[in-house]
Each structure stands twice: as C-alpha cells, then as structure tokens.
Chain A
Amino acid sequence: MTTGPILEARDLVKRFGDLTAVKGVSFAVEKGESFGLLGPNGAGKTSTLRMISAVSEPTSGSLTILGLDPRRDGPEIRGRLGVVPQEDTLELELTVRQNLEMFGRYFDLPRNVLRERASELLEFTQLSERANDKVDDLSGGMKRRLTIARALVNQPEILILDEPTTGLDPQARHLVWERLYRLKREGVTQIITTHYMDEAEQLCDRLVVMDHGTIVAEGPPSELIARHSTREVVELRFDTDSHEELHERLSPFAQRVEVLPDRILLYVNEGDDTLRELHAVGVVPTSALVRRSSLEDVFLRLTGRTLVD
C-alpha cells in the first residue's frame, strides 16, 4: 500500500464551449479525510466533482484517483466510489429496497449480498420501516438519506457528496450530518461540496474555497478563519437607507469594516468591548449582534461577496 493521497488533482480545467467552468484547480485528499469544496453557485464545484467522480473528462490537467487514471480506468475507479448527486436521481416508481438492490447490480454484486447490504443500509439511514414503500411517497429528507444509502451500496472507498443537504429542513439536515459524521468515524473518505458555511464547518476537516472556477483559499476551517478573519464580528443595523455613509465613522473601531446592503460588519477581537466603545461615542444602532467569525466571513474577505445570495 502506498501512503500518498487517495485523490490528487493538478491544474484541472473544464471547458464547455466558450465557458471555462474550472480554471486550473489543484488539491489533494488524504485517506479518511473529509474534504470540502465551498463556494457559491456557479463557482465550478459541481464540474470539479464530476471530474473527480471519473464521469466527466478534464479538458486539461492531471488527475489521479485511488492511484488510477480516470481517462483509462474510469469503470474501475467508479466501482470504488460512491456518489450522492445534487438531485436524488431515484426511481420514483420503485420501492426503497428495490432502488438499493437494483442499483447494486450496476456494481455486479451478487443478489444475496445485496439483499443483506440493503437491509444494513436501510437500518443505517433509518429507512427500514419504509423499505417497501414507493420512493415517490417519501419526504425530501428520506429521499436524501436513500440516495446516501444507495451511494454506499458498493462500500465505496471515497464518498462524494454534491450539496448533500440543500433543500432540506433543519431537522432533516442534522440527521444527514449525523450519518455522515458516523461514516467519517468509520474511516470513509468524504468529498463534499456545499454553499453552506455551517455545513462546511460541521463536516469538513479541510476545505478549499472556490470562486469563479478557481481556488481562493485552502485549509482547515478554523485555520482559514484565523488566517483571514478576526476572532469576533459585530453585526450592526442602523435606521438608515444607506449603511455606506457610516463606513468612515466606524472604521477606527475595527480592524476591518464590511458594508452589506442590510447591515455593517465590524471585524474585531472583542466584540463586547467594541460595542461599549461605540456606545461611549454615541453610536446607537437599531440592533447589534456579537458572534464568532465563520467561513462566511472568510469568503466575504476573499471575494468581496456573500456565499448565499
């Protein structure tokens, strides 16, 4: 066994006609790691993911997955990956169990193995009671969990998830996160795209921040925050049509000031101290909130834009 990265991408480019979706990204993923691609819609995350799923061919650049070359060994690589696509892509007319067992046949798994594995996976994703129901009748969260179960049917070495909780309600989201966390504990390497910073912080050991097809930062979430933001953020709202004009007045109180359409962010180390100082000089916001810096702030810092707009 080699101990190199389980996946390595160098200068990956993906072009669709005139559009360059991915403009030369490089990263490596270690075995057992949860690796994230964070960025807004259109950042090139899904295109990158489709390349590292050995489905779409890179326009240029080099890619090694499980020590193999996807241009040559696509079927073998895909046999050892599990993919949770952005949309569930389930057979709505079939039952929950049929979805798992039939999909498993794509990997040439024997029927008795599949029957057993389907039961385990339904247990794991808490769908056992719905095993014989049509997929059409499931809730969004259940469909998502079934898609995850389906991606695990071949016991993949790398699990690739594209926006795993987009469109789910908070409770369903937490259930998915909790299952993914358990998989991580079992040693399954995960590669996750998301445009939710809280999801990235929850799930990823390390991530790259993508914007306009390039990587703008890389590191563990806490390190990225430490490197690109302050410890705390003070969010202020004022009763005004233009927060912009307050920029100059507030800047002496913070290391950095970001003006958003609906609020002002002050990047500081001790938020409560800053609030007190502001109060002392007579700055009275209609609302004030002190919070810890997040990946959202990192993204804002690096790109000048918010993640979800």
Chain B
Amino acid sequence: MSNTLDVTAGWSRWRRSWWYHATYYAQTWRGSVVSTVFFPIFFLAAFGVGVGHLVTAHHGLVQGQTYLHFIAPSLLATTAMQQAEGESLWPVLAAVKWLRTYHAAAATPLEPEDIFYGKLAWVVTRSFLTGVFYTIVIGCFGAIESWWSLTLPIIGALVSLAFAAPLVAFAARSQSDGSFVTIYRFAFVPMFLFSATFYPVSAYPGYLRPLVQLVPLYHGVALARAAAFGQGSLGAITIHFCFLVAMALVGIAWGRRTMRRRLVD
C-alpha cells in the first residue's frame, strides 16, 4: 500500500496529520508554553550567570568563551531532545493504545505512514519555532557571535527529528509505558548531563572521549556550539551532521514499519 516515494506522493495527506497535531497543540498548549518561555531564561541565569561566575573566577575562559556563552548553544540542543521525548513517547502510546486516536485517523484517507510523517513534521516544527525563540534569548544574553547562529533553529529541528523518529517508532510498538521511565532515567538524563553539555569534551580523560562520540546528543550540542561561534572544522561538523541525519533516517525506516503494523493489523 506504500512505496519509497510516499513522502512526496503522500504530501497532501500527511500535511493533514501535521495540521492535526499542530492544532491539537494549539488547543492544549497553555501548560507547556510557560516552561518553553521561562526555562531558557532560568537555565541561562542559573548556570550561565551563576555557575559561570565561579568558572570564570577560577578557570577563566572555556574554549575562548565565557561560561555563559559556552553553555548557551547546548541549551538549544538539549531542549530539542527534551521536546522530542515529551512529544514522542506517552502521547504516541496514548494515540495507539489508550485512546486509539491514530486508529481513528487510519480509517480516514490517511495511511499509517502519513500519520507518522505528520507527527514528525509537527515535532520538527515545534522545535524549529522553539529554536527561533531560544536563538533570540541566547542573543539577548550576548552569546551569539556568528551569522551561522541563524542555523540554530534548523539544528534544533534536526536534533528533535533524530530523537523523535526512533522514539515514535518505539512507542508505536509498545504495549505499556513501563519502559519509558527506564529510558528517561538511563538514557535521557545521562545524555543531558554527559554530552559535553556543561563542559568541553576535553574535560574527559582520553580513553572516555571516543565513547562520547557515540552519544547522540553530543553531536547536537557540538553542532549548535559550532554554529553559535562560527567555528569548528568542516570534518567534525560533517560527522555531527551525518550522525544526526543517519539516526533520523533509521528511526523513520523503523517507525514506518511499527506504525503500519500497529494501525493496520
């Protein structure tokens, strides 16, 4: 019932799923918008200004940046990951199991793939818009030094897609949310803490550094940092970029299958 070209051929259908998810958010957004607006300000004030004061006093600059400037881009990448988590696990399990609203959608002209793509498109849209806002906030804290910073919202969108695709795929085949908490505890929280988010990767002993390369969020943080400062080698940037794209593609290929299996049989 589908082929590899269905992203373009099904566009007229999956944009309806995108629109549905966006409208649903627009009608239930009130809680989340507060955290979206205040979280970056609190984060930058507490870590950037507060902890940054100590770091600068004892250590001086970090990779040529004040501590505030150093951690500001990682905020964008980690938020994109968190939004992907929040959108992709419980809401998807609810839609395929508890409320079965995706089953209802699958009885309309939409194919399971359309529902899946529309969901991802919405997560990407949301992270992009959040990225625009965060870039402005980061700019207000004076942490933007390059025109490449204009790509920060796109980097946020890419990070969220890289996480959302496999997470939606996983949620679409889950029978309960038991494993979700485990994922949070043992994947997301460590990733948030150890992806060179708060310090450069050079803070790790040499034997640990290659391991950090395997952590998805690290690539998002590194990419955001490179964009904000307009520095970094082309080779490294390519690796970060390709890692995230590959993760998204694997997630999409997996999610197409799990979503179809869940909704159609």
Which residues of A are in contact with B by a Cβ distance under 8 Å?
A: 16, 53, 55-57, 71, 74-76, 78-79, 81, 83, 85, 87, 89-94, 98, 102-103, 105-108, 150, 154
Establish whether residues B28 and A56, one from each chain, have CB atoms under 8 Å apart when the complex forms.
Answer: no
* Cα of A89 to Cα of B1 in the assembled complex, Å: 24
Which residues of chain A have C-beta atoms less than 8 A from B27's C-beta? Answer: 93-94, 98
In-complex Cβ contact of A89 among B12, B101, B265 (8 A): B101
Tell me the bound Cα distance from A246 to B230 in angstroms.
Answer: 94
Q: Is the C-beta of B257 less than 8 angstroms from some C-beta in chain A?
A: no
Contact with A along B89-118 (1 / 0, CB 8 A): 000000000011101111111110000000
Do A71 and B1 touch (CB < 8 A)? yes
Inter-chain contact A78/B107, CB cutoff 8 Å = yes
Contact check, A74 vs B108: say whether CB atoms are below 8 A apart.
Answer: no
Other 18 A-B pairs with CB < 8 A, given A56-B265, A75-B110: A53-B107, A55-B106, A55-B263, A55-B264, A75-B111, A76-B109, A78-B107, A81-B107, A85-B103, A85-B107, A89-B100, A98-B27, A102-B20, A105-B23, A106-B105, A107-B108, A107-B109, A154-B108
* Complex: chain B residue closest to A81, CB-CB: B107
Docked CA distance A154–B24 (Å): 20
Q: Are B24 and A106 in contact (CB under 8 A)?
A: no
Across-interface contacts of A76 in B (CB, < 8 A): 109
B65-105 residues at the A interface, CB under 8 angstroms: 99-101, 103-105
A94 and B29 CA atoms in complex are apart in Å by: 12
Task: Please report the C-alpha to C-alpha distance between residue A53 and residue B107 in the assembled complex, in whole angstroms.
Answer: 7
Known: A94-B27, A106-B20, A108-B12. A56 touches B104 (CB 8 A): no
Q: Decide: B264 and A56 in contact? CB cutoff 8 A.
A: yes
Q: Kindly report which residue of chain B lies nearest to residue A71, judged by CB atoms.
A: B1
Q: Which residues of chain A have C-beta atoms less than 8 A from B263's C-beta?
A: 55
Q: Which of B27, B101, B264 has the most CB of A within 10 A?
A: B101
- Contact check: which of B1, B28, B104, B110 meets A85 at CB < 8 Å? B104
Q: A55-B264, A85-B100, A94-B24 are in contact. Are A79 and B1 (CB under 8 A)?
A: no
Q: Are B265 and A16 in contact, with the CB atoms below 8 A?
A: yes
Known A-B contacts A55-B264, A57-B1, A74-B1; A106 and B16 likewise in contact (beta carbons under 8 Å): yes
Output the least CB separation between A230 and chain B (Å): 41
24 residue pairs from A and B, CB less than 8 Å apart: A53-B107, A55-B107, A55-B263, A55-B264, A57-B264, A74-B1, A75-B13, A75-B110, A76-B109, A79-B108, A83-B107, A85-B103, A89-B99, A89-B101, A90-B104, A91-B101, A94-B27, A103-B104, A103-B108, A106-B105, A107-B108, A108-B12, A108-B109, A154-B108
Residues of B within 8 A of A92 (CB): 99
* Nearest-neighbor residue (CB-CB) of B104 within chain A: A89
Given the complex, which residues of B lie within 8 Å of A93, measured CB to CB? 27-28
**Contacting residues, chain B, for A90 (C-beta < 8 A):** 99, 101, 104
Q: Which are the 9 A-B pairs with shortest beta-carbon distances?
A: A106-B108, A75-B109, A89-B104, A83-B107, A89-B100, A79-B109, A78-B109, A56-B264, A106-B16
Q: Are A91 and B108 in contact (CB under 8 A)?
A: no
Contacts of B39 in A (CB 8 A): none
Set of chain A residues within 8 Å of B11, measured between Cβ atoms = none
Compute how far the CA of A38 lies from the CA of B61 in the bound complex, rounded to whole angstroms. 77
Decide yes or no whether B148 CB sits under 8 A from chain A: no
Q: How far is the CB of A82 from chain B (nearest CB, A)?
A: 9
**Interface centre among B17, B99, B111, by most A CB within 10 Å?**
B99
Task: Output the nearest chain B residue to A98 by Cβ-Cβ distance.
Answer: B27
The interface residues of chain B lying within 8 Å CB-to-CB of A98 are 27
Chain B residues with CB below 8 A from A103, complex form: 104, 108
Q: Is B19 in contact with chain A by the CB < 8 A criterion?
A: yes
Q: Give min CB distance, A25 to chain B, whole Å.
A: 18
How near does chain A come to B56, taking the closest CB pair, in angstroms?
46
Q: How far is the CA of A34 from the CA of B109 in the complex (A)?
A: 24
Scoring A78, A89, A106, A107 by chain B CB atoms within 10 A of each residue's CB, the highest score goes to: A106
Residues in A with CB closer than 8 Å to B265 are 16, 56
Cα A57 to Cα B106 in complex, Å, equals 13
Chain B positions 238-261 with a Cβ under 8 Å from a chain A Cβ: none
Cα(A71)–Cα(B264), bound, Å: 13
Q: Which residue of B lies closest to A147 (CB)?
A: B104
Q: Which of B23, B100, B264 contacts A102 (CB 8 A)?
A: B23
CA–CA, A71 to B111, complex, Å? 12
Residues of B within 8 A of A102 (CB): 20, 23-24
Q: How far is the CB of B70 from chain A (nearest CB, A)?
A: 40
A16: B residues at CB distance < 8 A: 265
A78 touches B108 (CB 8 A): yes
How far, in Å, is B219 (CB) from chain A's closest CB? 35
B17 contacts across to A, CB distance below 8 A: 106
| Chain A residues with CB below 8 A from B20, complex form | 102, 105-106
